[in-house]
Amino acid sequence: MDKRSYEFLKNLINSMSPSGFEKEAADVWKDFVSSFADEVRRDLHGNTIAVVNKGGAPRVMLAGHIDEIGYMVKYIDEDGFIFFAPIGGVDPQIAQGQRVYIKGKKGKIPGVIGKKPIHLFKLEDREKVVKFEDMFIDIGAKSKEEAEEYVSVGDPVVNAPGFDELLGDRIVGRGFDDRVGAFVVAEALRLLSEDRPHAEVYSVATVQEEIGLRGAKTSAFGIDPKVGIAVDVTFAMDTPKLKLQKGIVGDIRVGGGPVIARGPNINHRLFELFVETAEEEGIPYQIEGIPRGTGTDANVIQLTRAGVAAGLISIPNRYMHTPCEVVSRTDLENAARLIAAAVRKIKEDTDFTPY
């Protein structure tokens, strides 16, 4: 991976970007794409949009959501303990005992999520999942007044673990869902800036996907693309237990290549273009059959205005919605290569009518 791109990826993952509070990561993304895009702007919703080959045709939109799951401060008690609620689909079993950061009025404030010790639980309660309302954040404050010097109701919170490397090409971090998608669409745009396509290409770091695909809906409406390609993560099924349940998702493996989605949310001709391109370019790929709306930005992009030829490229991801998601750097590189090569084949008269 290009050194500057790798630094961009690390900075992106180490940023705070829970849904509705994406600015820190969005600024990292904007700074990276500004060095090669023809135009970069931010819309009223907070989506960051970069354009290459302005004036080309047709319009193609690449979307990777830049928000992550997290928490929000709800209440501060008289002793300075902070009660919170989840932003997005957070597993309460994951939350307890985590170190966190609060984006407060004086910057990033460290804290820990506390709960009653297991020793003090009644025997019948030890097997139950602790609810969010029974947990709290401890920042070391001695009183409500001291806590409120640093933290306010409504402040966003994320788990503390950041980017790190495992063996081989595996990397680990918080919020790979879906900041690796935002990384891939930026990288694909960089490749397209070096070998320009016929199309006018919009790369979008979309916001608020984790709470309802919101940013993709508004940005796609504004861009009005002919083709829309979302990049997200999907479940890697190559770990113990999940190996025995491949019928749920498919035989998806970390390091096996980008995953090309197929189903009613996906334009048939765009799917075929991805497969054809991967084979011509020697890019390994996997296929995931999704017989309904995908639950990704591709869902709302497809339904924009009179309809968009939608595609979905996914990155195999282990331990989704935990602070320790695992992906392959090679899968990220190959996803960007695949998208850039496929977009270069799209011309103004390319017919995406599905049949």
* Sign of the CA dihedral with 229 first, then 316, 296, and 164 last: negative
User: Residue 127: its pLDDT value, please?
Assistant: 84
Residue-wise pLDDT for 49-85, tens only, equals: 999 999 999 999 999 999 999 999 999 999 999 999 9
Same domain (yes/no): 56, 80? no
Nearest C-alpha neighbor of 236 from the set 322, 338, 320, 331: 320
User: Residue 147: its pLDDT value, please?
Assistant: 98
Work out how many domains the chain is built from and give that number: 2
Same domain (yes/no): 42, 79? no
Question: How far is the C-alpha of 11 from the C-alpha of 3, rounded, in Å?
Answer: 12
Average pLDDT of the segment spanning 230-257: 94
Catalytic residue among 22, 68, 200, 209: 209
Residue 243 banded pLDDT, cuts 50, 70, 90: confident
Phi then psi for residue 74, to 5 deg, are -110, -35
Looking at the predicted structure, is the pLDDT value of residue 349 above 90? Answer: yes
Q: How far does Cα 243 stand from its chain's mean position?
A: 24
Average pLDDT of the segment spanning 163-190: 98
Same domain (yes/no): 15, 129? no
Q: Which domain holds residue 272?
A: 3-68+174-344
In this prediction, what percent of the chain has a pLDDT beyond 90? 93
124 vs 171, more confident: 171
The pTM assigned to this predicted structure is 0.96
Residue 166 lies in a domain: no
Looking at the predicted structure, is the pLDDT value of residue 114 above 90? Answer: yes
Same domain (yes/no): 59, 91? no
168 φψ region: left (φ > 0), alpha (ψ -120 to 50), beta (else)? left
Looking at the predicted structure, is the pLDDT value of residue 118 above 90? Answer: no
Residue 350 lies in a domain: no
Q: Domain containing 277 — which CATH number?
A: 3.40.630.10
Last residue of a domain, one of 130, 159, 188: 159
Is 209 a catalytic site residue?
yes
Q: Where are the beta strands (DSSP E) in the chain?
A: 39-42, 48-52, 59-65, 70-76, 82-87, 99-104, 107-114, 136-138, 156-159, 164-165, 170-173, 200-206, 227-235, 259-262, 286-289, 309-317, 325-328
Return the residue matching tokens 């296929």.
Answer: 287
